[in-house]
Amino acid sequence: MTMFQKSLAEINIDSIREAVADQGWAFLGEPLDQSVLGQIKNDIDKMSESSDVEINYGGSEHRIWKAHEKSSSIEEFRRFSDIVVSSFYGNQHDAYDILAIRNRSLGSGSGTLHNGRWHLDSFNRQLKVFVFLTDVTEASGPFEMIPGTQAMSFKMKKALGGHLITPKDIITKSRSYSKLKEELIENILSQGYERKVFSVPAGTIALVDTSCVHRARPCTVGERYALTSYYS
């Protein structure tokens, strides 16, 4: 696992746990060396031509599921991610999927394709590891989340109004995917919560509790490549 060996050595798992509990995210070491990112991007470009790719937002987004089965470099990321998440929990966790994603510019006149996208993945903690393979700017579709919304106290308070989650979500301890209204996001922000926008250099690795309110902003300039690990 030479690609991620340095990152593993830099991780203090106790500090990571504390940061994720407090703010919902943590960076994992220093960004990867630029020289290792080109091969993964090339692999994603090749896989994006396959017939089984999920294409969204007017063709600007390509999602390759099970990418670790199609690229040895991405399989390295899966093994790294498993080590991080297993260390976080103190027992073995294995990613059931690695998503490779390529976003290209929607342009400025794409109307409704720019709207919405805010959601949360789960009622309970849901860890994902992200590696951003290109420099991410405010315009290239950065990952964006609202720290503090991963906290159970926040979710319970919102459940009473049925806006973020419902009583059924609490009973079943699960929540199906659904978009959140912009009005709800503005209400959350008006209460003192702030956005965290991941405008980061290429090679940045982050661990995020995606039971928080989050989204990928629309890409309006340039492109964004990333990998994401998924756990049950």
Question: Taking the alpha carbons of 146, 152, 153, 154 in that order, is the dihedral positive or negative?
Answer: positive
Contact 24, 149 (CB under 8 A): yes
For residue range 184-230, list pLDDT tens digits in order.
899 999 999 999 999 999 999 999 999 999 999 989 999 999 999 99
Instruction: Characterize the bridge pairing of strands 61-64 and 97-104.
Output: antiparallel
Decide if pLDDT at 72 tops 60.
yes
pLDDT at res. 173: 57
Least confident of 51-55, 61-65, 181-185: 181-185
pLDDT at res. 113: 58
- DSSP annotation string for 48-99: TTSTT-EEEGGGTEEEETTGGGT-HHHHHHHHHHHHHHHHHHTS----SEEE
pLDDT at res. 180: 87
| CA–CA separation, 64 and 67 (whole Å) | 6
pLDDT at res. 212: 94
Map out the domains of the chain with their CATH numbers: 2-230 (2.60.120.620)
Cα dist. 125→1, 97, 174, 178 in Å?
Answer: 27, 17, 10, 17
Cα dist. 145→33, 79, 96, 141, 171 in Å?
Answer: 26, 25, 23, 13, 25
Average pLDDT, the chain: 90
For residue range 96-114, list pLDDT tens digits in order.
999 999 999 986 655 555 5
Return phi, psi of residue 51, to 5°: -75, -15
Return phi, psi of residue 65, to 5°: -85, 155
Contact 218, 134 (CB under 8 A): no
Q: Report which residue type is found at 61.
A: E
Alpha carbons within 13 angstroms on the beta-carbon side of residue 65 total: 8
CA–chain centroid gap for 22, Å, is 18
Q: What percent of the chain has pLDDT over 90?
A: 72
pLDDT at res. 1: 64
For residue range 5-17, list pLDDT tens digits in order.
999 999 999 999 9
pLDDT at res. 117: 86
pTM: 0.91
For residue range 128-184, list pLDDT tens digits in order.
999 999 999 999 999 999 999 999 888 887 665 666 666 666 566 555 556 788 888
Q: What is the mean pLDDT of residues 61-89?
A: 97
